[in-house]
Amino acid sequence: MSPYGGHFAGQKTAAKVLQSGFFWPTLFRDAHSFAQVCDKCQRTGNISKLNEMPLNPILEVEIFDVWGIDFMGPFPPSYGKNYILLAVDYVSKWIEVVATSTNDARVVVRFLQKHIFTRYGTPQYLISDEGTHFLNRAIRSLLSKYNVRHRIATTYHPQSNGLSEVSNREIKSILEKTVNLNRIFSI
């Protein structure tokens, strides 16, 4: 790399070379190779796909077969509610949300029965983090009863339950824009 300037990632570097009027048959391969071995990029960039922990993809699934679930909060109390429990269908991206006063297993069991199982049928998979509200006897019993497989998102790797995390960010953004000064929200 030149001491006078940096470079983009492989795809964009190749595009810039093309825009400058240059081309050779291995341009894209060379640009990707160049970006992959750049010492500064390796030290400061994001984790590359090569170094990520492998995820086990769930392949053939139908709508409402795979749900990601997560809690948000605690928030300042509003109508006695401090938490938001959120579930996202991985195929349709449909979101079910309830405001709750606690974040315990009893709330999760009631939410799954009332808002997921009775409305959309029992899913094949439920994906959650390692929170004690998701990893306990009550949840294991419920999921076992309905033959739902529980997948745990890898600790410190929120991408493994990425859809729930993205939905959390979107809901938080909406709440920040719409909640009044008294911090009152209603879901």
* Rounded to 5°, angle at Cα 169 from 153 and 57: 30
Distance from C-alpha of 82 to C-alpha of 39, rounded to nearest angstrom = 46
Q: Judge contact between 127 and 157, C-beta under 8 A.
A: no
93 and 17 within one domain: no
Is there a domain that residue 73 lies in?
yes
**pTM score, two decimals?**
0.60
For residue 1, name the pLDDT band (cuts at 50, 70, 90). very low
Instruction: Give the CA radius of gyration of the chain.
Output: 22
Q: Residues 119-167: pLDDT tens digits?
A: 999 999 999 989 999 999 999 999 999 999 999 987 655 555 555 566 6
CATH no. for residue 79?
Answer: 3.30.420.10
158 and 118 within one domain: yes
Q: Residues 68-92: pLDDT tens digits?
A: 999 988 888 888 899 999 999 988 8
